[in-house]
Amino acid sequence: MTLSRLVFPKSIAFIGGNECAIAIRRCKEFAFPGKLYAVHPKREEIEGIKTLKSLDEVNGPIDAAFIAVKREPTIEMVQQLSTKGCGGAVIYASGFAETGDHALQDQLLAAADGMPLMGPNCYGFVNGLARAALWPDEHGIKPLERGIAIISQSGNIACNMTFTRRALPLAAVFTIGNQVDVDMARMVDFLSADARITAIGLHIEGLPNVAAFAAACEKARARKKPVVILKTGRSEQGAAVAMSHTSSLAGADNLYDALCARYGVARVHSITAFVETLKFLHGGALKDAKLVSCSCSGGEAALTADMAMGRGVSLPDFNADTAARVRATLNEYVSVSNPLDYHTFIWNQQEKMEATFTAVHSGGYDVGMLILDSPPPPLNSTAWYVAARAFAKGAAANKARAAVVATLPECMPLDLADELLAQGVTPMFGLNDALTAFEQAARVGKAQQRAVAAPILSPAPLKEGASRLLAERDAKSLLATFGLSVPQGQVCKVSDAVKVAQSIGYPVTLKVSSESIAHKTEAGGVILNLKSPEEVQEAADKLSKLSDEVLVERMVTGAVAEFIIGVTRDPQFGLVLVVGAGGVLTELLKDSTTLLLPTYREEIEAALKSLKVWKLIEGFRGKSGDAAAVIGAVEAVAAFASTHSNRLEELDVNPLLVLPDGAMAVDALIRMRT
């Protein structure tokens, strides 16, 4: 059933007492244009509305209901509303799955029989677009024609968001509690299709269905509707002891990063960055993050340049034409560069400042920002308003994206912030959060430009059966059938090692061959670069103490770099691919990135290029590696994992030796269900 009637109701039934009285008061303050019903078996009236003793007395359709009674009678009310064809209900009561009572929550869902339920254990929502408030508390939302929507699992965090004094154009907040029915995925899907919603902010504690959420985010990306996530609980998942290195690299938080990267979702890690990023995205995403910064202080210019380091933003210098235009508006004492310190020679001179800022905005930057901290009342801030207005006019003359940024949040006057927002210039409270917002807006914009849809997750459950760790040669043979290059080799008895080595050709590597030894190097089960029968015999004698069989392989030499390619399994996300710097220092370096499966070539290539070790492939000290071979190796592992998605538990290729011509998997670990 659609969420339209619940979220944009024309009639609301309030079932309960004190909480309902507050919610009705909020609707009246909004001048809700529809019909309000109050249902209570004992009270005569609630907030000036004559009460009905039961839902049976409601004469007319009910689009939305706010139920604020104890948990057991809540189920009965839901059933009655469903029978009457109600468009949906907000369940205020707690004491369901969040306290361990899953059976009662299941009864609640069954009683709804397809009617949308928001909650239980939730505050409800305030929708300024509909002038509706199914909300038993204070809030700071004003009626709007268009704006941002925030969805939160926390009622208090949602409440706090409505109280912000940062010129945030917040149109609606929704709290969804336990997500028994209406969850994050469903809300994102519904709201991203509404042209009045400019951006969607999500406070997430957990997702009941990651695949559905991914599909909703992909729809939002295709609709060019920005989504921003603030997720709490970022610590790594507690997992059983794993055999591979991969599991130590792919924590649960990394998987959310991978999801956001794939579907063009902005991810931030603080409340203030959440607000500022949403506010900036209210004006749309950016194609890139090429910034131009203006201030009347060399100190602020240097601070901006320093704080931009290490982020996905850049401050490219002016081209010759733009530099000439800017220089013509300033005197000879000003050095024209980006960030621009325009000094105070033109301070408080509207026309001169406007000329400079018009020239600056003509440079074709993705966003221009003016660093401006205004004095508080009762100090005279007129000159600061002149600067802000001149900057806004310069942006408008070029139809350029602009932001006025206070380095200290308290130095942005609210009346100026509102004025700027009305002119299409974003007022930003804090330089650090502003740079985060620009970085994330570019990330969202680049994803929106992608024509090809990203694959949607479809986690396959593990089949029943025993878990088996494959012998290394068996693991390599399986991967080779999917296109992964592996060294020539053969498993043999220790007594036959010399004969096999001679048939393969020197130099060779000897490894213990045993399904019970996962990490052979740590066990002393690997001996490299054997160049003669005598060396092979000596090595075989040593390894005979660990096993009566050895793996003899052709030694791979001339490697430019070492990579790890691994697959691990997450309870929610399913199979996950990890690529990074490999070898014995894998866990120490932790130069890795995570991809969700299934994946695709463009995503693999972008992930590899984000690694520090990739510089060795591109070329370092006269040597370079075969980039296409590395990408092909990752694709081979991903294809193997997808094919065996219901059997594969974990996989490690470590290291993958990258050569000037080719890439060779010299070690592999696979654990599968039989």
- 548 and 497 share a domain? yes
> According to the 3-state scheme, what is the secondary structure of 571-631?
CCCEEEEEEEECCCCHHHHCCEEEEECCCCHHHHHHHHHCCCCHHHHHCECCECCCHHHHH
- 500 and 581 share a domain? no
Residue 1 lies in a domain: no
Quote the pLDDT of residue 5. Answer: 98
Read off the CATH number of the domain in which 324 is found.
Answer: 3.40.50.261
Residue with tokens 């074709």: 364
Residue ranges of the chain with pLDDT lower than 50? 236-250
Whether residue 377 contacts residue 410, with contact meaning beta carbons closer than 8 Å, is answered with: no
- 428 and 296 share a domain? yes
Residue 311 lies in a domain: yes
Quote the pLDDT of residue 240. Answer: 37
Which of 534, 554, 574 is a domain's end point? 554
Whether residue 133 contacts residue 159, with contact meaning beta carbons closer than 8 Å, is answered with: no
Cα(480)–Cα(551) distance, integer angstroms: 16
Whether residue 450 contacts residue 457, with contact meaning beta carbons closer than 8 Å, is answered with: no
Q: Which distant-in-sequence residues (6+ apart) come within 8 Å of 320 by Cβ? A: none
Quote the pLDDT of residue 585. Answer: 65
**Which stretches does DSSP call E strand in 40-109?**
45-46, 49-52, 64-68, 89-91
- 433 and 323 share a domain? yes
Read off the CATH number of the domain in which 631 is found.
Answer: 3.30.470.20
- Segment 26-81, tens digit of pLDDT: 999 999 999 999 999 999 999 999 999 999 999 999 999 999 999 999 999 999 99
Quote the pLDDT of residue 301. Answer: 95
Query: Can you give the residue range of the structural domain that contains 642?
Result: 561-673
Residue 541 lies in a domain: yes
Read off the CATH number of the domain in which 510 is found.
Answer: 3.30.1490.20
Q: Which residues pair with 314 in a beta bridge?
A: 290
pTM passes above 0.85: yes
Q: Which two tokens stand for residue 421?
A: 């927002």
Which of 498, 519, 554 is a domain's end point? 554
Residue 638 lies in a domain: yes
Which of 398, 419, 449 is a domain's end point? 449
Which of helix, strand or coil describes residue 173? strand
Quote the pLDDT of residue 472. Answer: 92
Q: Looking at the 3D structure of the chain, how many domains does it have?
A: 3
- 547 and 631 share a domain? no
Quote the pLDDT of residue 183. Answer: 95
Quote the pLDDT of residue 249. Answer: 42
